[in-house]
């Protein structure tokens, strides 16, 4: 594999996606340095990797410089759920912007390749559907989601300027909604919310009328896409959309979770958050042709695996009232 003996830095490696990525990189033979400040990540996510001789963890905040010797960087450090990234919006913009500058400075000095975990949020509330990479987006620059959306947009700008100005080898992945085991149970994202609610017999909280759509990618597929993008020739920069093009309304998702968990939970309606995008679905033609990648795990199968994970955690979190 391409990653054999490479020294790979994963920022945000103790998070949901980052911990799966660390695992897969180790499987591929890489030496992995996981850097995380544990804001939303957890030791539990990486505890099983600690005995691995090629795995190392460093507690560090990427808004500060980092001097290490590495061959490749996956820059994932950033809170990703609205509850967490809106908790301290200034810190969110800082982690995207200063974090990108520091990691790009590190890549420039070491000659490492660097991949940015960008997001479908750069398209905002999209006026074009589905979203191709050429679409410039429809983002509110001053709303409650802006710290995340504009921070990630500025990070993309920095990546492309370091590429043009300093010849840094960059890869930009625009990640669409991803789910799976190790999602934070209380981070407010829809898949974890619905599963936790269904397993504890509480009503599933549908925001607005539930007609808004999202497309959900299982984490294993996403990580495969990230690693394929990193392995592309030097002239491939992206941005490349990575996501599952199967689109669902939140109402359909709620019903599916209730069915798969066997829960007796009802649905309840809460107000739609401000600037909540009405629809979202990736156009993945570029990922198909450049990376020969498309998702392989259907929502129902991925949900079953995720539900099984949350069930296993049930005792630890003290969830009650299933069925
Ligand atoms: P997560 O919150 O589980 O992981 C983010 C990790 O970054 C956590 O471990 C957190 O502790 C760490 N972190 C946050 N601030 C940091 C800082 N200043 N210094 C060092 N570490 C810091 O989220 P995730 O879902 O795993 O997302 C990972 C990346 O993928 C993020 O950059 C996110 O924006 C991007 N992304 C995720 C999704 C998704 O659906 N999960 C969609 C689009 C983009
Ligand atoms: N940086 C870092 N690690 C390195 C090299 C640089 O964290 O190994 C940081 C550095 O502190 C700087 C940022 O990356 O703040 C940008 O580096 P660059 O060389 O582009 O800018 P300069 O140092 O000239 O401001
Ligand atoms: N959502 C919902 N109930 C919840 C959590 C979220 O109906 O308990 C909706 C939310 O309004 C949005 C969609 O589900 O339309 C996806 O929300 P999430 O926060 O998971 O991701 P994002 O909005 O960042 O795509």
In the chain, domain spans: 7-178+218-244+277-296
pTM of the model: 0.95
Q: Ligand 3 mean position to 250 CA, how many Å? A: 8
The ligand that comes nearest to the alpha carbon of residue 70 is 2
**DSSP string spanning 14-41?**
TSHHHHHHHHHHHHTT-EEEEEE--SS-
Q: Distance between CA 189 and CA 305 in Å, rounded?
A: 17
175 contacts 242 by C-beta, under 8 angstroms: yes
Ligand 2 in reach of 167 Cβ (< 6 A): no
**Residue 314: alpha-carbon gap to chain centroid:** 24
Ligand 1 in reach of 139 Cβ (< 6 A): no
Q: Is 179 an active-site residue?
A: no
Domain 7-178+218-244+277-296 bears CATH identifier 1.10.510.10: no
What CA dihedral angle connects 129, 130, 133 and 134, to 10 degrees?
Answer: -40
What CA dihedral angle connects 21, 315, 78 and 275, to 10 degrees?
Answer: 120
The string of pLDDT tens digits covering residues 36-60 is: 999 999 999 999 999 999 999 999 9
190 contacts 249 by C-beta, under 8 angstroms: no
Selected catalytic residue, list 148, 162, 179, 218: 148
Q: How far apart are the first and last CA of the chain?
A: 46
Ligand 2 in reach of 105 Cβ (< 6 A): yes
Q: How confident is the model at residue 323 (pLDDT cuts 50, 70, 90)?
A: very low
Pocket test for ligand 2, best of 33, 62, 65 (most atoms within 8 A of CB): 65
The string of pLDDT tens digits covering residues 112-166 is: 999 999 999 999 988 998 999 999 999 999 999 999 999 999 999 999 999 999 9
């Amino acid at each position: 594999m391409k990653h054999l003996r490479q020294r790979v830095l994963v920022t945000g490696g103790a998070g949901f996606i980052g911990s799966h990525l660390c695992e897969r990189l180790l499987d591929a033979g890489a030496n992995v340095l996981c850097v995380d400040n544990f804001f939303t990540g957890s030791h539990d996510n990486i505890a099983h990797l600690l005995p691995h001789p090629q795995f190392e963890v460093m507690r560090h905040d990427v808004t500060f410089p980092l001097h290490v010797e590495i061959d490749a960087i996956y820059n994932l450090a950033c809170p990703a759920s609205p509850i967490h990234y809106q908790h301290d919006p200034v810190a969110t913009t800082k982690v995207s912007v200063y974090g990108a500058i520091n990691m790009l400075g590190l890549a420039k000095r070491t000659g490492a390749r660097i991949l940015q975990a960008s997001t479908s949020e750069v398209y905002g509330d999209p006026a074009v559907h589905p979203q191709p990479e050429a679409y410039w987006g429809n983002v509110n620059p001053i709303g409650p989601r802006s710290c995340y959306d504009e921070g990630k947009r500025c990070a993309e700008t920095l990546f492309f300027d370091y590429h043009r100005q300093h010849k840094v080898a960059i890869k930009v992945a625009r990640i669409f909604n991803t789910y799976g085991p190790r999602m934070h149970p209380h981070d407010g994202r829809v898949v974890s919310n619905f599963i936790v609610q269904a397993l504890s017999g509480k009503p599933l909280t549908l925001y607005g009328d539930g007609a808004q759509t999202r497309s959900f990618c299982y984490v294993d597929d996403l990580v495969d896409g990230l690693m394929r993008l990193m392995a592309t020739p030097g002239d491939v920069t992206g941005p490349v959309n990575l996501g599952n093009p199967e689109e669902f309304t939140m109402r359909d998702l709620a019903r599916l979770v209730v069915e798969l968990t066997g829960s007796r939970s009802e649905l309840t309606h809460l107000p739609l958050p401000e600037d909540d995008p009405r629809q979202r679905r990736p156009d993945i033609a570029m990922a198909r042709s450049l990376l020969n990648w498309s998702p392989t795990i259907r929502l129902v199968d991925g949900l079953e695996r995720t539900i099984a994970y949350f069930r296993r955690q049930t005792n630890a979190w003290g969830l009650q009232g299933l069925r």
